[in-house]
Chain A
Amino acid sequence: MICVDISKCTGCKRCETACAFFHTKQVSNHLSRIKVLNLYENGIDSPVVCQQCNERYCINECPNEALSIGSLVEILVDMDVCSLCANCEDACPIGAIQLFNDEVLVCNLCSGDTECIMACTEEALSFETQEENSSLSEYKLTSVKLTPSQKRFEYVRKQGIELRKTWRENRA
């Protein structure tokens, strides 16, 4: 999975830009599978990308079995059977899977050669294979009925709380 070190992110969106361009030859936040949030209110910046969670909320909620797990534990989308119902989008607690222009966009790890990690000059992104994936259950309850963008915002905001404590401590 792609791990984010939020303390190193400057909010430049190079990952987002590289992802969209690699997959579509265009640049757009909508076309990217990794989306950067800039919280101007408190200095926190961070990309949000599929964390390959234990719960696999998106797969469980898909009525058409369009989603599956690939060899890198990434989410694979079969658009031939997808009905664009957006259940996966609703299910993800952190807004990491989203429909755009009749397509389901989620990180597929670029078949292992990850564009976003190569684009990051700050080493804020890394590829890690984990025996046990992370849980996103703590974000699930509060994410109900939020838009994907709102879910990404809440996810980054919560992560930023700890980082901001370290800033204060370092400056004290």
Chain B
Amino acid sequence: MLKYGFGGKLLRVNLTEKIFKIEKISSSWIKPLIGGRTTNTQRLYDELDPNCDPLGEDNIIIFGVGPLTGSILPASAYFIVTAKSPLTGILGDSAAGGSFGPEMKQTGFDQIIITGKAKGLLYLMITDKEVEFIPATNLSGKTIVETTCYIRKKHKDYAIQVAAIGAAGEHQVLYSTIVSSGNRVNGRTGMGAVLGSKNLKAIAVRGSSPAEYANPTILKQESEKIHSAIMKHDEYTKRYNLGTTMLMNDLNSLGILPTNHFQDGVCDYIEKISGEKLANTYKVKNKSCFNCNLHCSRYYICENQEAEGPEYETLCSFTSKIGSADLPFALEMNYWLNQMGLDSISTSEVIAWIMECQERGLIQPDDLEGLKLTWGDTDKVREIVKKITFRDGIGDKLANGARNLSREFSEEAQKLVLHVKGLDVINGDPRGIKAYGLTYAIASRGGDHLRAEPFFELTNRKEEAKRRFGTEKAADRLSEEGKAALVVYSEKIALLTDSMTMCKNIGLCMDILNFENITALLNACTGLNYTPDYLQKIMNDSIDLQRKLNEKFGITREDDTLPERFVSESLKRGPTKGSTVDIDKMVDEYYKLHNWKH
């Protein structure tokens, strides 16, 4: 019997039959998993037919929270959504903050597992004891905020939290998102398309079953230590003012800001598109996820546009990556993508890839129904993003993602798609951040940094690098040395953060969490007697399980690599000039540390 920290219940919803079932979760099942991402991965491994169509009735989509979600731990806002990805065909999952996770926690359901397909568009209203299947044909095409406001008004309760899809999810764009709390995004791997394929417009949650804690006094003390560490952090003010948009200037100064589709790492018009420019010109207030003391999100007003955000990935995606110095345009795209439910990284990859291929003469406008995209042509980008959203005309092909679209073209064009395992890589050029390069290569959901977020390599803390990872080079961003050890450490902290749950931007990037303080937090929360060694074992087991799951999807050692550009083509100028990634060396070391043979 689970007494502390967890809700202790699992909700199964079958949309085809319009039925639900509540099961108990035992402590013997959950203790060796913890919660959040680790538990979701285990469910997918145990219950999914790996050969199923990701957009068919048999795919299962799992919403999960952890023992600390929605607690007094700062930034304990996160929930994880897991399914077979329609974009990549392998393990798909994505985390988001806001307030949905904490409210889901209040329902007492640690996991919600959704299967089947509804006959018509509907939304689920989930409370502690009840699941209502509510017709939502009137919400078809509505934005995230419109959907959220409608549901709150209808149920006369403005504490209801809603995770919804926009038009892109309804049209099953393969990289569509789920968006909750108005603007917090489960961005990657196309989880929105999975909901769309099930005719599920939204999940609304409202709970009144708060968890009890094993030792509230210790939990408060440990949470206050985390609170102080965040408040005293060297970068607190910068992160408070700019949020992740600080990375525009930071990455540009390292020569790794993706510019014209990673052909350049230095952007000549950075001052027009920087986080500082955005904050000084358009920001009106700070915004925050649940119980966070960093408040790193922002609200802006720009001409007739207003919205929360943007985060760095969206800002870079619709400025330097596509060769545009037009900041108001990027803000317009931020609103559109978040309200229509499109992943900014994958959307901008297909656009920037076409731009480069057309510049090189590898794709002609006639190949794409007359579509001609050139650097910085924001009118054309606006038009094509709208077509992608509704799968209108040529947008239908682009909605399948850059890798899938590239198969119609030459090998040379295919090589220019910057993806790993079908997931478009994030906006950080790995030629100047080698541990990130390794992370993109080995990440179990494809080309992504959040599986390890090895921010430590940018800290230049040489002595600490030697102590932690055996070599000073682990803190040298241009070196491959010690990076496997760094990634093997930080992928475990990343997974723990996704499992307990908390914000990785704080827990990991600000170097706040470690095995010792997580152990103390989890024990005060659950009373389950974790130790740092046991947590290490749980993380290793789960990372092994992710790999086994991906093997079921056909992934092999050969897929753990980087696009050719990063391996063999160096940048021509700036502080990362001349550098390429020796990816095989790092992946081999990484395999050795995991005791993986192949």
Contacts and interface: CB of A to CB of B under 8 A. Distances in A.
B301 interface: yes
B103 to A, nearest CB: 8
Given A10-B287, A29-B159, A122 B72 contact: no
Interface residues of A, number: 39
Given A10-B295, A150-B156, A150-B158, A43 B285 contact: yes
Interface stretch (A60-68, A81-89, A131-139, A164-172): A164-172
A153 B290 CA distance: 18
B287 A14 contact: no
Contacts of A24: 210
Interface stretch (B212-220, B318-326, B583-591): B212-220
A13 B158 CA distance: 14
B306 interface: yes
A167 B216 contact: no
B539 interface: no
Contacts of B302: 171
Contacts of B183: 40
A45 B308 CA distance: 12
B301 A37 contact: no
B210 A31 contact: yes
Given A10-B288, A12-B289, A35-B159, A26 B210 contact: yes
Contact of A149 (B159, B231, B288, B299): B159
Contacts of A167: 284-285, 301
A141 B574 CA distance: 65
B292 interface: yes
B208 A25 contact: no
B290 A25 contact: no
B240 to A, nearest CB: 9
Nearest to B206: A29
Interface in A5-57: 7, 10-14, 17-18, 20-21, 24-31, 35, 37-38, 40-43, 45
Chain B interface, >50% SS class: loop
A152 B287 CA distance: 20
B38 interface: no
A44 B301 CA distance: 13
Nearest to A7: B285
How many interface residues does chain B have, given as a range?
A: 35 or more
Nearest to B71: A27
Contact of A12 (B145, B148, B293): B293
Contact of B156 (A10, A18, A147, A168): A147
Contact of B287 (A11, A20, A146): A11
**Residue of B103, B231, B301, B308 with most chain A CB atoms under a 10 A cut-off:** B301
Interface in B201-248: 207-208, 210-213, 216, 220, 231
A27 B158 contact: no
B157 interface: yes
A121 interface: yes
B301 A27 contact: no
A127 interface: no
Contacts of A21: 72, 216, 220
Contacts of B289: 12
Nearest to B156: A147
B182 interface: yes
Given A10-B286, A17-B291, A27-B72, A38 B213 contact: no
Interface of A: 7, 10-14, 17-18, 20-21, 24-31, 35, 37-38, 40-43, 45, 100, 121-122, 146-147, 149-150, 152-153, 167-168, 170-171
Given A37-B158, A43-B308, 11 more contacts: A10-B288, A12-B291, A26-B211, A27-B71, A27-B211, A29-B106, A40-B149, A100-B208, A121-B231, A150-B158, A167-B284
16 contacts: A17-B290, A21-B220, A26-B213, A27-B71, A27-B210, A29-B159, A35-B159, A40-B149, A40-B181, A43-B285, A43-B287, A100-B208, A147-B156, A149-B157, A153-B158, A171-B282
